[in-house]
């Protein structure tokens, strides 16, 4: 499973609850939204937090637990229910299924059984249309300084956010010189520094409040206000933040620094797509080759997509055909050079889609947004076709 699943659990037994919690915390694709020690409170917790999965342990009091299964199913029908019990009595299993459980697993819960159950549960993270809600994580890197990474990231994010089906967040990971907030003309109340200081107690609601929403619909987590020698968080903490954002947004764009720092590498590792922005000049193209080889060595080459920016900048540019011979890769998309709209958009802090909706560069970025979504959905469909589906009662085999 590639998507982050938000899960709430209830188990009145401290020891088994702690064991299940430790198992869940070791799974990158699962976010433990809430844990509860009382059956009578759990339905309200599910109603308030709206997790994708409710995990209910029956061993403390099977009858009370089965009642909670029915209550959660009735009050939150879109939440998928997973039951855990040391009992394998047919009557208990049948009643759990009749009450609304999707899976019945043996206690103590083990990792393989749990992951297999997640793969079998249909519509995890989905809405009323029954479609799985995916999250496209994109890291944006430049072949050189000043090639337009932030401009592309901001305007691509705004183009994606223009659809009612999308929710978009941008992380400015250029911790020293990032200026994503300038492009959106916002003064944020919180930055990535504030998130870092609270990362050990970070939850879904706290992180959402730490983001600043722009009028376009895009949410931004900007770089720290003050420069510092040390990064505000480590790679593991950043990946935790990304995992939580994946539980909330359909698209996550990360504007990286040019240093390939541990934080940059952590972002690249968890990205679905890596957008490498270049211009058609020799220094940039040489760096495209170097970066491509580096990503291949890190087994990330299949995520790489080349974006050529400022096409038509002048006669000094290398031709696209010659550039293709140099880099040995196809170009995923081209962005035309329109200097005046971009500069005016940046200086006014207004995205191109709002300031210059009919400009060629705006149309190109909107088409790029469409192509990116199409490519990631195609990859997801291909992966889905390769998976074998298990039956609802496969745990009895």
CATH code for position 112: 3.40.50.2300
Shared domain for 159 and 17, answered yes or no, is: no
Q: Is residue 301 part of a domain?
A: yes
Q: Domain end: 106, 130, 154, which one?
A: 130
Shared domain for 85 and 140, answered yes or no, is: no
pLDDT at 113: 87
pLDDT at 233: 92
pLDDT at 204: 63
Q: Domain end: 86, 113, 130, which one?
A: 130
Q: Is residue 396 part of a domain?
A: no
Shared domain for 233 and 257, answered yes or no, is: yes
Q: Which residue's entry shows tokens 């076709």? A: 385
pLDDT at 2: 45
pLDDT tens per residue across span 353-383:
999 999 999 999 999 999 998 876 666 555 5
Q: Is residue 98 part of a domain?
A: yes
Shared domain for 202 and 148, answered yes or no, is: yes
Shared domain for 12 and 72, answered yes or no, is: yes
Q: Is residue 391 part of a domain?
A: no
pLDDT at 385: 52
Give the CATH number for residue 261: 3.40.50.300
The boundaries of the domain holding residue 335 are: 136-385
Q: Is residue 251 part of a domain?
A: yes
Q: Side-chain half-sphere of 81: how many Cα atoms within 13 Å?
A: 27
Q: Which residue numbers in the chain have pLDDT < 50? A: 1-2, 123-133, 387-397
Q: Domain end: 114, 130, 146, which one?
A: 130
- Burial grade of 229 (CB within 10 A; 0-12, 13-18, 19 or more): exposed
């Amino acid at each position: 499973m590639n998507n982050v699943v938000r899960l709430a659990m209830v188990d009145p037994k401290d020891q088994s609850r702690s064991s299940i919690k430790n198992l869940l915390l070791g799974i990158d694709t699962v976010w433990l939204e809430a844990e509860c020690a009382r059956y009578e409170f759990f339905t309200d917790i599910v109603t308030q937090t709206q997790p994708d999965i409710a995990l209910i342990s029956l061993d403390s009091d099977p009858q009370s637990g089965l009642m909670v299964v029915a209550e959660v199913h009735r009050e939150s029908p879109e939440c998928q229910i997973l039951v855990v019990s040391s009992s394998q009595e047919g009557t208990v299993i049948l009643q759990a299924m009749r009450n609304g459980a999707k899976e019945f697993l043996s206690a103590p819960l083990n990792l393989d059984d749990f992951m297999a159950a997640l793969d079998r549960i249909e519509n995890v993270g989905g809405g009323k249309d029954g479609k799985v809600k995916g999250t496209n994580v994109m890291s944006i890197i430049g072949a050189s300084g000043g090639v337009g990474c932030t401009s592309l990231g901001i305007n691509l994010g705004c183009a994606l956010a223009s659809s009612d089906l999308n929710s978009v967040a941008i992380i400015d990971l250029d911790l020293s010189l990032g200026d994503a907030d300038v492009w959106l003309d916002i003064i944020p109340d919180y930055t990535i520094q504030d998130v870092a200081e609270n990362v050990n107690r970070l939850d879904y609601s706290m992180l959402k409040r730490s983001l600043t929403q722009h009028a376009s619909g895009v949410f931004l987590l900007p770089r720290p206000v003050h420069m510092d020698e040390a990064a505000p968080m480590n790679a593991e903490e950043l990946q935790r933040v990304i995992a939580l954002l994946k539980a909330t947004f359909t698209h996550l764009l990360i504007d990286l620094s040019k240093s390939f720092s541990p934080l940059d590498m952590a972002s690249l590792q968890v990205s679905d797509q890596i957008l490498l922005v270049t211009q058609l000049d020799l220094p940039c193209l040489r760096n495209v080759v170097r970066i491509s080889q580096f990503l291949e060595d890190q087994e990330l080459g299949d995520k790489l997509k080349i974006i050529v920016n400022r096409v038509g900048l002048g006669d000094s540019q290398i031709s696209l055909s010659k550039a293709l011979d140099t880099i040995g890769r196809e170009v995923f998309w081209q962005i035309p050079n329109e200097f005046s709209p971009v500069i005016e958009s940046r200086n006014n802090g207004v995205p191109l889609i709002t300031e210059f909706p009919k400009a060629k560069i705006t149309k190109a970025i909107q088409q790029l947004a469409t192509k990116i979504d199409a490519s990631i959905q195609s990859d997801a469909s291909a992966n889905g076709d390769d998976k074998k589906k298990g039956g609802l009662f496969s745990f009895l085999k």
